[in-house]
Amino acid sequence: MQKQRTVTFNHNPLLKRELPVWRSRFVLMVLLACFLALVGRALFLQGINNEFLQAKGEMRYARVLEVPATRGRITDRNGDMFAVSTPVRSVWAIPSDVNLEPGEARQLSKLLEMDVSELNAKLASGRDFAYLKRQLSPDVADQVAALKLAGIHQQQEYRRFYPGGEVTAHMLGFTSVEDRGQEGIELAYEAQLAGQPGSRRVIKDRRGQIVEDVESIRPPRDGEDVVLAMDGKLQYLAYSALREAMQKYRAKAGAVVVVDVRTGEVLALANAPTFNPNNRANLTGAQLRNRAFTDTFEPGSVMKPFIAGMALESGKFKATTKIDTSPGRLTIGTASIGDAHVHGVLSVAEVIQKSSNIGTVKMALQFSPEEMWRLFNQLGFGSQLDLGFPGEAAGRLRPAKSWRPIEQATMSYGHGISVSLIQVAHAYLAFARDGDLLPLSLTKLDEPKGSSKRIFSPEVAREVRAMLEMAAGPGGTAPQAQVPGYRVAGKTGTAYKLEGGQYVKKYISSFVGLAPASRPRLVVAVMIDEPNGAHYGGAVAAPVFARIVEGSLRALGVAPDAPITPLQLARKQGVEVPAVQESM
């Protein structure tokens, strides 16, 4: 029997190979350093700089919500409400949390007034957030909340409401679904009306439900109210008179501006066609334009009184100075201008009364283009009135050095120059205020704002005003502007329209006047675009002026300054009053 060989493992040569002492100590030191680093980091995060972990934790349950500010109100000068924000709610969803049964989807879509397919499409969009319906009434929102559907939430918002509807639409404009100004006064005074939203910190669960209101970070600052210069009663009068004329003459568009002579405040401003700002479905650009500010046109004969004023101011002419307008035609270079009728010899006053182109041109050509341009520029033509209204047009007044004699001639009676209706109304303040021109204001004033400028001497302004009174009376171009019990003064305008650089047989009819003529309180400017049937300013626009002035002066308590004449009585009874046709 062979003797077995025993092996002693602890004497294995491989096990006798010893590791270096420094190696084990190095590993121990590395592990110790890592441990100390972790301990230090833990102490730093949990003891010294614990805001980081707290912030990370709060991100999972705490939210900062915006608290909307209430938009400021818009009122008329008497405090009547023109625009106010009412509380509404919006319904939104976290699509991943929503799992609606068919019956629940039908109930929800019915309350939200939308198709089930549209609702399902929004919930299947794959987004983390989706609005289902904006600006719901509180009653409907309460019914949605009563369904208690998982993943369906609500938030409070504000919706703008306009009690005046179509009557005040163009002046006020409107807001977006976020309650931000988009047009009109809403946009012009956005900074004042909008206010400053606040914020609050809340705790939400994983479904987005608020479980605790932690604190208010910043309270909302509500917007400031805007008090307009407009008078609600006068605004309705202006709108009604304009709408009636639009229907009668089947016109394309129209606008009216009413200005307080004492302060320059715009008491009424109406446009047609109009729109309902409370329901803006299917709106067109034509409906949205505030034509009194944005549309420019060749004013025609309403410019003639300014030439008469310049002529009297220079001393070269008097109101009684005779001007020969025979034979009814005047040639300048290769072009000719004419009057609607042959008037013969007319005084300066009769030139305005009969609206003679030839008489006006003969006065204008006694002055240099620079002198005439300077007058138009002082009156505000060719530049914005700086009212801050969105889309305000400057019009077109070319530099005097480029004028040819025929162009200076045609500009004297309102052709070759473009203006807006608000500019014309503003310029006529110079006649109403005895030669003094004030800046206009869209907001209520206690006293005139800014500095006025002297355009004509008081004597000249009164003389021209007397001429305008003749133009609006028997033998003038606008007897239909007469108002029972009040003296009125004004000037008609009729001009062809320009399309593609060519004059076409379409008309702009206008009338600008002031009342009472003895001591003016109002300037009223009327423009009717493309009337049918009749087209002269005296027949189309002057009756609109008369209706507005009659109602406005009585509403303002302005005392009558004249007896009721047979002519006024006849017009009030519907009798057609003959007028002198103005020259175009």
Instruction: Write out the two tokens for 396.
Output: 């077109």
Rounded-to-integer distance, Cα 309 and Cα 305, Å: 6
Question: How far is Cα of residue 466 from the mean position of the Cα atoms in its chain?
Answer: 36
| CB burial string 193-232: b at 16+ within 10 A, e below | bbbeebebebebeeebeeeeeeeeeeebebbebbbbbbbb
SS3 493: strand
| Residue 144 main-chain phi, psi, to 5 deg | -65, -45
Contact criterion met (CB below 8 Å) for 178 and 186: no
Question: What does DSSP say about strands 522-529 and 502-515: parallel, antiparallel, or unpaired?
Answer: antiparallel
Contact criterion met (CB below 8 Å) for 546 and 482: yes
User: Is 117 one of the annotated active-site residues of the chain?
Assistant: no
Contact criterion met (CB below 8 Å) for 514 and 432: yes
Rounded-to-integer distance, Cα 535 and Cα 416, Å: 20
Rounded-to-integer distance, Cα 41 and Cα 411, Å: 85
SS3 314: helix
Rounded-to-integer distance, Cα 157 and Cα 26, Å: 66
Instruction: Write out the two tokens for 496.
Output: 């062809």
Rounded-to-integer distance, Cα 218 and Cα 443, Å: 31
Question: DSSP string covering 397-428, please?
Answer: ---GGG--HHHHHHHHTT-S-BB-HHHHHHHT
Residue closest to 490 by CA, chosen among 457, 464, 508, 509: 464
Within 10 Å of residue 563's Cβ, how many Cβ atoms? 8
| Residue 288 main-chain phi, psi, to 5 deg | -80, -25
Cβ neighbours for 532, distance < 8 A, ≥ 6 positions apart: 249, 250, 251
Within 10 Å of residue 324's Cβ, how many Cβ atoms? 12
Indicate which residue of 85, 90, 109, 301 is catalytic.
301
Q: Can you give 272-318 as a three-state secondary structure string?
A: ECCCCCCCCCCCCHHHHCCHHHHCCECCHHHHHHHHHHHHHHHCCCC
Rounded-to-integer distance, Cα 424 and Cα 379, Å: 9
Residue closest to 313 by CA, chosen among 517, 454, 523, 407: 454
Rounded-to-integer distance, Cα 242 and Cα 289, Å: 16
Give the bridge partners for 513, in sequence order. Answer: 490, 524
Instruction: Write out the two tokens for 582.
Output: 């103005």
Element (H, E) at 15: none
Tokens 């030839």 belong to residue: 358
Rounded-to-integer distance, Cα 48 and Cα 28, Å: 28
Give the bridge partners for 271, in sequence order. Answer: 255
Rounded-to-integer distance, Cα 458 and Cα 466, Å: 12
Active site residues: 301
